[in-house]
A and B are shown apart, each in its own frame.
Chain A
Amino acid sequence: MRLLTVGGVIAYRALFNWTTPSMFVGTLLVGPLFQLLFFAFLGRQLGVASDSFYIVGNAVLAASVACVFGGTMAVSNERRYGTLGHVLLSPRPRTLVFLGRAVPYAGNGLLIAAFTLTVGSLVLGLRVPLGAIPGLAVTLAVGSLSCAFFGLTLGALGLRFRDVWLVSNVSISLLLLLTGVNVPADHLPAWMRVVGGGLPITHSAEAARRLVAGDGFGAAMPALGKEFAVGVAYAVVAAALLKVFEAESRRRASLDTL
């Protein structure tokens, strides 16, 4: 447990040695807020769905930039800055080392999602029932964790492929389309709904919408359970990929090849 948490926190602090507060505010707080406003106004103009649909959906999605890029950076930056060999020389289990990296990013994602939901609601006048707040906190946390493990899976690809940032950028834009955050799922083709069901955010956005609508935690539970399952699945895939790619990069002596 100590390895999981302390290792993650140290890696997170190291990242913020070169990620400045202005970068944090600009990229992770202001950016997602404008994304929310963009889709809320577009949705209003087209009459696709209510403001509530866009505020809640985009607030849940707001965690994705921090979590997906964070998870990716957790692995690929080790390679970029030449520290991957040191990490892999450690006699501790890599799975724990790397899975621990995802936890602070998930915490970060939760903070960003909560900020986006709060400010978005204040700006566009959405009233969130007080009773829904604890359930929303759990939902945003599960969504963020699931997203961070998804990011870690992409980061694991960084052990094998050179340009993992391309994959991350494309994945972020696919989340916009496939999670049903901006286009109601029933307007998407069946295959997109199936793919979206296997992505993080989709089910937590649904759970959050149920909570904000006042349906209660019980009504949100099935979707929340699915989001949790998706997160666990990505954690397992990330751990497996890290193991396979580490072994392969040792065999091919390509660990630090950029």
Chain B
Amino acid sequence: MSVLRLIGRGTLLHVKQLSRSQFEIATALFVPLVQATLAVYLFRAGSEPHRLLEAAVGAGMMAVWSSVLFGSGGAIQNQRWQGTLEMLMLAPRPPALLVFPITLATAVTGTYAMIATLLWGGLVYRIPLDVADPLAFAVSVPAAILGLGMFGLLLASTFVLLPNANAINNTLEYPIWLVSGMLVPITVLPGWTGPIGAVLPTTWAARAVRESVTGSGPVWPSLGVCLALSFVCLVAGALVMSYVERRARANATLALA
């Protein structure tokens, strides 16, 4: 119970902190609206104008991924820059439990974008919110966000080991959108991308949310696979995080940017 309380409180704290940044909020709200508008015009111009809701939801999922990628990928570095990393690591809890709320918070703030794209689609483009399975949608969106938050811990812990993590951050946005089928169905991609997409929680998260919107398949198996893969990422991330923390303490490099 105390672990859940720690995660809950920590997530709330970091969501509040991220929500204080005008840059974060404006980027999280405005850029996804542009992407959603682009998706709407593309789907209208193409052969599938009836899939506009899918386009808006896909654009929202893309924004959640961007938020996790840039927020979680730079989570440790941001704590360093803020001068709070030492205090975080001094806390009498495993480091993964202290960083996970940060990565979860980046996924939660990504939902601003999801809500914004759906509202934008409804108000500006009159896209009816005709969700095939509202209950599954209401469950799959938070579950997908939780999954991406767990995946974020793996990003946070591995990226801190890499000297040029920012370069990887900037590179990974479009490839994950692509192979996860967030807007482009994975059936149109080359076959070799299939196995890559299959091991990414993002693929299953996007699939579960899409299935809840369109009713094109059973939501729960996709959601189950998403959460299972995310849990594997969480465990792997926790192990890497413990290793990174021990190494940084031993080498006295914790606060070195």
Chain A contact residues, CB within 8 Å of chain B = 20, 22-23, 25-27, 30-31, 34-35, 37-38, 41-48, 163, 165-166, 169-170, 173-174, 176-177, 182-184, 187-188
Q: Please report the C-alpha to C-alpha distance between residue A48 and residue B167 in the assembled complex, in whole angstroms.
A: 32
**Known: A20-B167, A41-B188, A173-B34. Contact between A183 and B41, CB under 8 A?**
yes
Distance between Cα atoms of A142 and B175 in the complex (Å): 29
Interface residues on B, range: 35 or more
Contact status B22-A163, CB under 8 Å: yes
Which residues in B have their C-beta under 8 angstroms from that of A45? 46, 184-185, 188
CB pair B43 A46 closer than 8 Å: yes
Binds A, one of B23-31, B147-155, B238-246: B23-31
B23, B26, B30, B189: the one contacting A41 at CB < 8 Å is B189
Residue B37 interfacial (CB < 8 Å): yes
Enumerate chain B residues within 8 angstroms of A183, measured Cβ to Cβ: 38, 41-42, 45
Give the complex CA separation of A170 and B37 in angstroms: 13
Asked whether B164 lies within 8 Å of A26 as measured between CB atoms, the reply is: yes
**B38 contacts A34, C-beta separation under 8 Å:** no
Q: How far is the CA of A26 from the CA of B165 in the complex (A)?
A: 10
| Chain B residues in 8 Å Cβ range of A23 | 164, 166-167, 170
SS class of chain A's interface: helix, strand, loop or mixed? helix
Q: What residues on A are CB-neighbors of B184 within 8 Å?
A: 38, 41-42, 45
- Give the 8 A-B CB pairs with smallest separation, nearest first: A46-B46, A26-B167, A34-B174, A187-B45, A27-B170, A22-B164, A26-B171, A173-B34
The B interface, classified by DSSP as helix, strand, loop or mixed, is: helix
Among B38, B44, B48, B170, which residue has its beta carbon within 8 angstroms of that of A31? B170
- Not counting A37-B174, A42-B42, a sample of 19 additional A-B residue pairs whose C-beta atoms are within 8 angstroms of each other reads A20-B167, A22-B167, A23-B164, A27-B167, A27-B171, A34-B171, A34-B174, A45-B46, A46-B43, A46-B47, A166-B23, A169-B31, A170-B34, A173-B30, A173-B35, A177-B38, A177-B41, A183-B41, A187-B44
Q: Which residue of A lies closest to B188 (CB)?
A: A45
Q: How far is the CB of B63 from chain A (nearest CB, A)?
A: 11
A183-B39 Cα distance, complex, nearest whole Å: 9
Q: How far is the CA of A188 from the CA of B41 in the complex (A)?
A: 7
Can you show 17 pairs from A to B with CB atoms below 8 A apart?
A: A20-B167, A23-B170, A26-B168, A31-B171, A35-B174, A38-B177, A41-B189, A46-B46, A48-B45, A163-B23, A166-B27, A169-B31, A170-B30, A173-B31, A174-B34, A183-B38, A188-B41
User: Any chain A CB within 8 A of the CB of B156?
Assistant: no
Determine the chain A residues whose CB is within 8 A of the CB of B44 once the complex forms. 187
> Nearest Cβ distance between residue B144 and chain A, in whole angstroms?
20
Chain A neighbourhood of B41, CB < 8 A: 177, 183, 187-188
Residues of A within 8 A of B35 (CB): 173, 176
Nearest-CB residue, chain A, relative to B51: A46
Chain B contacts with A in 36-63, Cβ cutoff 8 A: 37-38, 41-48
Q: Does B118 contact A (CB under 8 A)?
A: no
CB <8 Å contact, B46 and A34: no
Q: With a CB–CB cut-off of 8 A, which chain A residues contact B164?
A: 20, 22-23, 26
B105 within 8 A of A: no
Across-interface contacts of B45 in A (CB, < 8 A): 46, 48, 183-184, 187
Q: How far is the CB of A170 from chain B (nearest CB, A)?
A: 5
Task: Give the residue among A31, A176, A187 with the most B Cβ atoms within 10 A.
Answer: A31
